């Protein structure tokens, strides 16, 4: 009896030691990022498999409306961060880096970083590319039995009053990219020289625009027939294509398109830096990249990612022809040009449609 | 009567009443602390942010500047924002007053048996979120909406009227949202209006227009002033309805604050505009005080 008691006591002590060890190593981290379908799919495709592979790290996803909201939270929590990592776009990451809100990670400690494509690596360890996306033309399948092939469809007089353009509050990065694309359609190849031809072309389009602030979003209005054509992000377009059973389609136009880059940053002064780095390394790894590409049609940033053919076909960045036509956008200089590009939207383009 | 009242000796306040200030302070202190922490401190912080210098792209620096205010007052677009907001504020307030005044007057005069039920019906829109009501207007006024559908199916028009995604849509939505607030304020300010005054005026030969102009209107002026102040402030600061029904074409101070903070990432500009809106509210409050004093 005494022997059994000793065994039980030993086993209890061993279990207690192991458990306390496990708790000592356990880490809770919070990742802030886009909410909605992005959040739902990111949890399923990346976070849950990560936690299975790393049972000692618990990841909580905190969904926010957009990258600007993330920046606002980071500013408000500058001295006592409540999140460990943030997923947002590169242009906002540049601001966060300049304000000292994000940590500059040593990329040599992230084994998967070496396999990440060069696009969007401008900020080094402060903002690591996570996903690529492209601007696409979205259309109502009933109104366009044959998919439109050109950005010029937006200027088609037959679509007057049925065009919606998301330019909330005078525009965000979609408006910036559309300005650059319009500039090229108007003959000016380099937006750094001038954007005037593009602005004039958009002024011509303005009276045919139904709304500059589609609610709930452009995808829904195009899918339900309130509008026939608009612009959107490829990933969300593909997601809505499935959700609406094909009532809304999307296409990468023949003139080429421009990319948008989502990045992930570790928050400066946040705790659990090792667990955060482990998560970031996993997030840019081929397994997580493939799973999220399949779930949401974002182009993977990791060059070793294997994506099935059906998924790859729906991601313009994975089509060599589209990738070759990719319109170069330097998001580092866009930050400085942001005001110059967006001011005409508020003062010339949108007022021309009143 | 006044002489008799004033000749009554005032008894000395009991000991418990002399402690009144301490009780008063104890009762007021929790609310004062909440108000200080939740309103005064954030407003001070807002004022400080409005002086922060920002670099291109919205990057905040550690320097302070007056540039955010100077830029605002020297930019024609900002002046357009102020004039758009003031016009919307005055216009919506006037239309809301015209719509709500007869309702409030009717409620004031109706038999007490019906008054409560009609009062509940008048303010019942407040039970539904203004976001939901505004979405309702989008369904009614949209190109494929109920209103255009009726006009087109009856052959009155060939193509849909543009009733949303513009200033007209914002006006319609705002007036509907604010009518219950105006009606409530008017009813609260109708306390001095009694039938005997109107009967006295009628007995002296005043026709209905003269009775309205010389008796009803002056007696209900405090209610009108209160309702106008409330609606003006609410319409200047309204954000959801212009965002949903304006189609991105209606630029106002409130929408600009959101856009500068959330889209353009220019927090100092957004804070400076917020301070300017606060000053406009202060001016509106000063006008209200003068109007009320005049009619008291």
Instruction: Report the share of chain A in percent with pLDDT over 90.
Output: 79
- Nearest-CB residue to A169 (from B60, B166, B263): B263
Closest CA relative to residue B177, chosen from B148, B140, B135: B135
Chain B, window 222-261: residues with a beta carbon less than 8 angstroms from a chain A beta carbon: 243-244, 246-249, 251, 255-256, 258-261
Q: How many CB pairs under 8 A join A and B?
A: 85
Second-level CATH architecture of A2-130+261-307: 3-Layer(aba) Sandwich (3.40)
A205, A343, A346: best to mutate for the B interface, most B CBs within 10 A: A346
Q: Is the dihedral of CA A328, A330, A333, A334 positive or negative?
A: positive
Q: Does B56 touch chain A (CB under 8 A)?
A: yes
For residues A55 and B145, the model is more confident at A55
What residues contact residue A313 under an 8 Å CB cut-off, 6+ apart? A319
Contact between B123 and B253 (Cβ < 8 Å)? no
* B248/A213 CB distance under 8 A: yes
Length of chain B: 296
Q: Which residues of B touch A346 (CB under 8 A)?
A: 77, 251
What residues contact residue B43 under an 8 Å CB cut-off, 6+ apart? B278
Residue indicated by tokens 């696009």? A119
> Which pLDDT belongs to residue B59?
86
Is the pLDDT confidence value at A28 over 50? yes
Q: Is A63 exposed, middle or buried (0-12, 13-18, 19+ CB in 10 A)?
A: middle
* CATH fold label, A133-259+327-353: D-Maltodextrin-Binding Protein; domain 2 (3.40.190)
Q: Which residue ranges form the domains of chain B, and what is each CATH number?
A: 65-295 (1.10.3720.10)
- ipTM for this model: 0.77
Closest CA relative to residue A165, chosen from A117, A201, A195, A128: A201
How far, in Å, CA of A123 to CA of B148, rounded? 52
Give the tokens for residue B198: 């109107």
* B255/A170 CB distance under 8 A: no
Closest CA relative to residue B228, chosen from B185, B188, B191: B185
Q: Which residues of B touch A353 (CB under 8 A)?
A: 249
Q: Using one digit for the tens of pLDDT, what is the confidence trace for B178-234? A: 999 999 999 988 888 888 888 899 999 999 999 999 999 999 999 999 999 999 999
How far, in Å, CA of B21 to CA of A258, rounded? 69
Q: Which residues of A touch B138 (CB under 8 A)?
A: 215
* A347/B60 CB distance under 8 A: no
> Which pLDDT belongs to residue A254?
92
Is the pLDDT confidence value at A18 over 70? no
Distances (CA, A) of A6 to A3, A180, A209: 5, 77, 81
Ranges of chain B with pLDDT below 50: 1-8
* B248/A168 CB distance under 8 A: yes
CA atoms within 13 A on the CB side of A190: 3
How far, in Å, CA of A84 to CA of A178, rounded? 33
- Nearest-CB residue to B263 (from A172, A347, A353): A172
Cis-peptide into A216, omega within 30 deg:
yes
Residue A251, SS3? strand
Fold match between domain A2-130+261-307 and domain A133-259+327-353: yes
- Nearest-CB residue to A215 (from B244, B255, B256): B244
Q: Does A342 touch chain B (CB under 8 A)?
A: yes
pTM: 0.81
Q: Does A91 touch chain B (CB under 8 A)?
A: yes
For residues B144 and A59, the model is more confident at A59
> Which pLDDT belongs to residue B3?
40
* B56/A71 CB distance under 8 A: no
Chain B, window 149-208: residues with a beta carbon less than 8 angstroms from a chain A beta carbon: 165-166
Mean pLDDT of A210-224: 92
* Ranges of H-type helices in chain A: 2-25, 37-42, 48-53, 67-76, 90-98, 173-185, 196-205, 218-223, 234-243, 273-283, 286-296, 309-313, 320-324, 331-344
Average pLDDT over chain A, rounded to an integer: 90
Count the Cβ atoms, other than its own, within 10 Å of residue B33. 10
Domain boundaries of chain A, sorted by first residue: 2-130+261-307, 133-259+327-353
């Amino acid at each position: 009896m005494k022997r059994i008691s000793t065994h039980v006591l030993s086993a209890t002590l061993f279990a207690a030691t192991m458990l306390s060890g496990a708790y000592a190593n356990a880490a809770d981290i919070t990742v802030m990022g886009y909410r909605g379908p992005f959040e739902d799919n990111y949890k399923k495709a990346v976070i849950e498999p990560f936690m299975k592979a790393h049972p000692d790290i618990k990841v909580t996803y905190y969904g926010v409306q957009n990258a600007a909201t993330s920046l606002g939270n980071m500013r408000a929590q500058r001295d006592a961060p409540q999140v460990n990592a943030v997923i947002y776009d590169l242009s906002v990451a540049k601001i966060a880096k300049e304000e000292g809100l994000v940590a500059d990670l040593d990329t040599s400690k992230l084994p998967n970083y070496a396999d990440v494509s060069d696009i969007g690596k401008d900020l080094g360890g402060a903002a690591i590319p996570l996903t690529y996306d492209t601007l696409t033309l979205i259309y109502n399948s009933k109104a366009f039995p044959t998919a439109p092939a050109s950005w010029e469809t937006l200027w088609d007089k037959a679509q007057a009053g049925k065009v919606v353009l998301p330019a909330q509050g005078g525009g965000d990065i979609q408006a910036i990219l559309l300005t650059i694309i319009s500039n090229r359609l108007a003959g000016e190849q380099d937006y750094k020289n001038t954007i005037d031809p593009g602005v004039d072309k958009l002024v011509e389009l303005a009276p045919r625009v139904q709304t500059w602030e589609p609610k709930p979003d452009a995808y829904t209005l195009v899918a339900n027939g309130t509008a026939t054509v608009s612009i959107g992000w490829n990933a969300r377009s593909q997601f809505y294509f499935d959700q609406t059973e094909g009532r809304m389609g999307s296409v990468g136009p023949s003139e080429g398109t421009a990319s948008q880059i989502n990045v992930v940053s570790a928050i400066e002064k946040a705790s659990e830096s090792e667990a955060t780095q482990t998560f970031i390394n996993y997030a840019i790894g081929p397994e997580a990249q493939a799973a999220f590409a399949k779930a949401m049609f974002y182009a993977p940033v990791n060059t070793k990612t294997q994506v099935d053919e059906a998924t790859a076909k729906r991601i313009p960045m994975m089509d060599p022809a589209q990738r070759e036509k990719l319109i170069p956008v330097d998001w580092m200089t866009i930050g400085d040009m942001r005001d110059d590009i967006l001011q005409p939207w508020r003062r010339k383009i949108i007022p021309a449609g009143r | 009567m006044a002489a008799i009242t004033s000749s009554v000796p005032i008894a000395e306040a009991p000991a418990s009443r002399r402690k009144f200030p301490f009780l008063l302070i104890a009762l007021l202190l929790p609310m004062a602390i909440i108000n200080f922490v939740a309103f005064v401190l954030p407003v001070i912080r807002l004022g400080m942010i409005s002086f922060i210098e920002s670099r291109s792209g919205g990057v905040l620096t550690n320097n302070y500047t007056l540039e955010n205010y100077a830029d605002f007052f020297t930019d024609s677009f900002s002046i357009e924002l102020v004039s758009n907001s003031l016009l919307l504020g005055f216009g919506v307030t006037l239309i809301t007053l015209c719509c709500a005044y007869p309702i409030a007057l009717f409620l004031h005069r109706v038999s007490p048996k019906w008054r409560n039920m009609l009062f509940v019906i008048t303010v019942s829109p407040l039970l539904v979120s203004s976001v939901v009501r505004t979405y309702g207007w989008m369904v009614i006024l949209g190109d494929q909406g109920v209103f255009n559908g009726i006009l087109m199916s009856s052959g009155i028009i060939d193509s849909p009227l543009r009733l949303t995604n513009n200033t007209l849509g914002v006006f319609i939505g705002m007036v509907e949202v604010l009518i219950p607030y105006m009606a409530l304020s008017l009813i609260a300010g109708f306390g001095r209006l009694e039938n005997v005054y109107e009967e006295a005026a009628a007995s002296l030969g005043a026709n209905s227009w003269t009775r309205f102009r010389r008796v009803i209107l002056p007696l209900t002026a405090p209610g009108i002033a209160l309702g106008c102040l409330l609606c003006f402030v609410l319409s200047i600061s309204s954000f959801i309805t212009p965002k949903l029904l304006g189609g991105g074409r209606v630029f106002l101070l409130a929408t600009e604050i959101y856009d500068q903070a959330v889209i353009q990432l220019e927090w100092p500009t957004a804070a400076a505009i917020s301070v300017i809106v606060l000053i406009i509210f202060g001016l509106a409050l000063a006008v209200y005080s003068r109007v009320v004093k005049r009619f008291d």
